[in-house]
Structure 1
């Protein structure tokens, strides 16, 4: 499993609205993509307008090729892109240790 971490910076005035839009976009677009295994959305308490989206993918290529090169990615960006104050910072990670809380 690969974990995508995307840091999203949004206009603080649209922080709450974006949270709802992001959750809806994940449910209707992202979650239907091949290799999608789950997600978490984190809204920063100290910095309104800062979100972290964690997406679990089966493989790196499921995200970088299967999703990003699909029509679904264009739909995804059309929904959430207008809220961005700057381009998202996205990196991929391998899980080394996971524990239930």
Structure 2
């Protein structure tokens, strides 16, 4: 069994601040990506609720996020850049994969 975890957070951005949030996040991603144990991330914008974003971050293990990133000076910069956009503050949860079904191969 792998220790890899997937961090999940629904980010409720203050309406009208979406463009500013996306710009700040684009800059902030360099901070998180430099953290040891970081395995990649995606941010998706909700179609039905355009002020809501889904953040998914892969970590080598839970501690890489909860102790490594959150305990780093980079996290303080991340927080200053992004946390003021959220209302309410997001709940962050961690998941371990139990099943994967790949989609069909694509042709070019």
CA distance 1:100–1:21, shift in 2 (3 Å): farther
Which sections of structure 1, spanning at least 5 residues, go unmatched? Answer: none
- 1:66 maps to 68
Structure 1 runs of 4+ off > 3 angstroms? none
State the aligned residue count.
100
Q: Which residue of 1 aligns with 2:52?
A: 50
Indicate the larger mover: 52-61 or 13-22: 13-22
Larger radius of gyration: 2
> 5+ unaligned residues in a row in structure 2: which ranges?
104-108
Under a length normalisation based on structure 1, what TM-score does the superposition of the two structures give? Answer: 0.91
- The RMSD of aligned alpha carbons is 1.2
Alignment partner of 1:8 out of 4, 7, 11: 11
Q: Which deviates further from its counterpart, 56-65 or 9-18?
A: 9-18
Q: Which has the higher helix share?
A: 1
TM-score by structure 2 length? 0.86
